[in-house]
Structure 1
Amino acid sequence: MVYIKLKYFTLRGPIPGLSPHIFFGNLLQSGLLLGKRSASDVYISFKKRFGDIYQYWLGFMRFIVVHDIDDVQYVLTHRNIYDQGQVSLIGLVITSIYSFWLLGFKFKRHGTLTMPLFRRSKIISNINTIVDSTDKLLDRWRARPHNQVHTDVVEQCQNLLLEIFGLIAFDYNLETLDNKYSSNNNELTEALLDIMSTFKMAIYAPSFVSIIYMKLNTRFQRARATVERHFHKMIEQELAESSESRAQRKKTSLIASLVNSLQADEKVEARKKEEDKRGLSRKEVFDEVLMFLIAGYETTSTALAWSIYHLSKQQRVQQKIKAELMENNSGQHLSLDYLDSLIYLDCFINEVLRYSPTIDSTCRSVTVDDCLPKSGTRLYKGDQVLIPTSSLARDRRHWKIDPELFYPERFLDEDKNHHPYAFLAFGGGHRQCLGQDLALFELKVILACMLQQMTIGDGGPEVNAGGFIQKLTLIPKHVGVTIEFH
């Protein structure tokens, strides 16, 4: 016990911090473990107590949290010193389950296959897929009683984004919206939620404990088996295509690119040095599919749920978006030029991501000893640096208009030219979220499609109270809205 306390739960060096509890670190002291506070609120309170740099323990994991915006910019722009944190949220899911994270040559091998597919030029061709899926959700809502208060907004947003991402990335219908009259999640949605629920329980433990916990957790194993079954169906569907078709479609389809990259002889490739390997093993393809399924729908569906919540509370903002929709388009058709003209809708989406961020931080791992230029703080190889992006978005030093106000116009007026590192909804530097263009495009198309056809109202203080549930993302807890179709 003494060894564990000294090795894992002792303040190190001159950097301030709260002395951590054994096993729990700062989780109990901060209220994060019991869900009493969000991670963003914890970071803000620690900054008030300890300043812009402090030590913080998420269970066994020790971080150096950096709030100073100049030091943040330095960390995110010096990729030769600060590489992807080994404990990034999405990465940890894969690491804990499959001992898999992408660094160095492995990152390059995987990145060359996936990164080009998420550029805006490749994404915009999917506008009709997004519109059609959104219309399916709206048809489901139309089938409900007129005066019903919708309290399953979060689940419906998850179903919608999972359907969209399945079609865009995998050319595969996940059938999450096929039943017009049911609001229940289908088995794949439930499986992914179970995986993320297991992840929440395991994230704060040492990696070997997490792996043992997941191997013994029958709920997780069933969920994994469900995802694997869908994965094999995707692969079989893709392998049924001709090699010429896959070679052509790999430029726009994630699953075609992944299947086209399958190694001919995995044993031979496994014996090679990482820099000499080519293609992906079947296990690596599965890891990619799972990571993209989780990352592709979880964060965007949460942002959409928060958008619907804020629209129900901010009727002035909703009417202003509707006025912009009517002013710039006389019909219902959503063209790319029309979407580009919706500037206020862009401001609204940015304000949702700033005010109700889906992800609270990004991490970097120190690869060589270094010194932060602004604070003069010494960092050492192996240190984990946590940048609290959600706190930067609420830091009064970086915003002219009160950051505690929900005010989309800030991005048109005083805060239009805010510090670029004060708003990092998708992370920053060379490891920022590669799906950000897709997420923003999906949100804009979905919201424009919805608000063309309906008005969102407040369902009342009891069911539409907001609040949060801290999971992989910060999910709204109580969303209850009325929907009136035009």
Structure 2
Amino acid sequence: MNIHLDTIFDCTEKLLARWRNYNNDSNQIHLNMIEQCQQLALAIFGFIAFDFDLQTLDNENNSDKHELTRAFYTHLSAAMLFIRLPTIIGRLYLVLNPEYRQARAIIDRYLQQMIEQELQENSAMRAERKRTSFIASLITSLQQDEKLEATKIEEDKKGLSRAEVIGEMLSFLSAGYSTVSTALVWFIYFMSKHSQIQSKIKRELAEYHLQRLSVEQLGSLTYLDCVLRELFRLVPPVSGTVRTLVVDDRLPASGAPLKKGDQVFIPFYNLARDSCYWSESMDLNEFHPERFFNENMAYNNKAASIPFGGGHRQCMGQDLTRLELKAICVRLMQFVTFGDGGPEVNAGGYNEMDTILPKHIGVTITFD
């Protein structure tokens, strides 16, 4: 994880430098915070997963540099509508939606550029990076002759076609960037609403001044850990997940029958608010990091807090997500203070896309 920290800090500091350029006489700035967080997360993930500079943190006035952020927003909005529609209608919607087609073309262009850049790499060097680089691993699996492979039966095909590689890249990028950016937006929102919590984080960081922290130092920040755990409890990356039964079964409490092939929805959002599983000493609908000071007292069942899923099918990228989010939050807290922009613009609420975003967020940013 250490190898990624400098990348995370570099990108976060680039965002801070951009904010400084918007500084005005009152030492405060006002920006589209959701877009800012998405651009930061895309930049970081581009470097970490694909060794590619997506340039989303470059000159704010250059609209071409931020077309990828807007394209992803359009793509994910369409995807959320697609999964709520019957399959045939959903596919027809995507085919006939010009905004979606344009967004997908932009995304595919960037992904093709990543592939071409990786193909320029020496094959021996790529083989060395295969274990630590997602893009190197994918390109190593790229079919050498797609036309030949297309003539084979499915069992005899080797490697991935370029279309399959792009599909894998899109899924990985969408999941990786949206989780971090959404959590970061919520962190900023909660800090703007809870100045005392923000102050406690800054006090915990005071001994480090403005230095970059190591993985070990990040791990020692127990109060920030509680803040982020409470954040993921109150607003998990997704509202829930679906699992498909592989054998017939019954619900333990009611005895209701479940058949093989049935799909069961596991509601992370609801579990985190169900008083059956949590201590009632603190309101489950309120943001209280202190809830996790004593983990054994926080809940009656650990399965009540599974924002990244549980078991062997839990999110494989959660460790990187937690590290990335924590490192970003630390760097932001070392330099700026977030304030409440007022009830009209900073009302919160929920807007569910592929993740759960604040419906209304309006904060002020003051450099310390």
Q: What range is the shorter-chain TM-score in?
A: over 0.9
Deviations 1:298-329 (A, max 9, x none): 121011000000001111111111111113x2
**CA distance, structure 2, for counterparts of residue 455 and residue 213 of structure 1:** 43
State the match for 1:97 in structure 2.
Answer: none
2:213 equivalent to 1:334: yes
Shift of 1:381: 2.2
Q: CA deviation at 1:172?
A: 0.6
- Does the 8 Å CA contact 1:250/1:256 hold for their aligned counterparts? yes
1:351 aligns with 2:227: no
Which of 4, 9, 22 aligns to 1:131? It is: 9
Distance apart, 1:187 and its partner CA: 1.2
SS of the aligned residue for 1:476 comes to: strand
Question: In the alignment, does 2:24 pair up with 1:143?
Answer: no
Aligned residues: 362
Distance 1:156 1:182 in 2: 14
Structure 1 residue 484 displacement after superposition: 1.6
1:455 aligns with 2:337: yes
Question: Is 2:85 the counterpart of 1:205?
Answer: yes
Shift of 1:124: 3.1
Contact 2:23 2:29 in 1 (8 A): no
TM-score by length of 2: 0.92
**Alignment-derived partner of residue 413 in structure 1:** 294
* Alpha carbons 2:178, 2:355 under 8 Å: kept: yes
- Give the equivalent residue in structure 2 for 1:66: none
Q: Is residue 311–residue 318 contact of structure 1 (8 Å, CA) maintained in 2?
A: yes
Report if aligned partners of 1:156, 1:183 keep a CA contact under 8 Å in 2.
no
State the TM-score, normalizing by the size of structure 1.
0.71
Q: Which residue of 2 aligns with 1:430?
A: 312
Does residue 378 (structure 1) correspond to residue 257 (structure 2)? The answer is: yes
Structure 2: where are the runs of 5+ without partners?
Answer: none
Pairwise CA RMSD of aligned residues?
A: 2.0
Q: Displacement, 1:382?
A: 2.1
**What pairs with 1:26-41 in structure 2 (closer than 5 Å)?**
none
Gap change, CA 1:472 and 1:352, over 3 Å in 2: same
With over 3 angstroms needed to count, the CA separation of the structure-2 counterparts of 1:270 and 1:396, relative to structure 1, is farther
Structure 2 partner of 1:396: 275
1:24-423 alignment to 2 at 5 Å?
A: 123-146=1-24, 147=26, 148-180=28-60, 186-266=66-146, 267-268=148-149, 271-273=152-154, 278-327=158-207, 329-400=208-279, 401-402=281-282, 403-413=284-294, 418=299, 419-423=301-305
Give, as a single letter, the amino acid of the residue that structure 2 aligns with 1:369. D
Q: Partner letter of residue 240 of structure 1? A: Q
Q: Deviations over 1:443-463 (max 9, x none)?
A: 100000010111111122222
3-state SS of 1:176 partner: coil
* Distance change >3 Å, CA 183–CA 457, structure 1 → 2: farther
Q: CA deviation at 1:358?
A: 2.7
Q: 1:475 aligns with which of 337, 340, 357?
A: 357
- CA apart distance, 1:375: 2.8
Following TM superposition, by how much is the alpha carbon of 1:415 offset from its aligned partner in structure 2, in angstroms? 5.0
Distance 1:305 1:254 in 2: 26
Contact 1:134 1:449 in 2 (8 A): yes
Query: Structure 2: how far apart are the matches of 1:448 and 1:485?
Result: 14
SS of 2:366's equivalent?
Answer: strand
Aligned AA (1:168): I
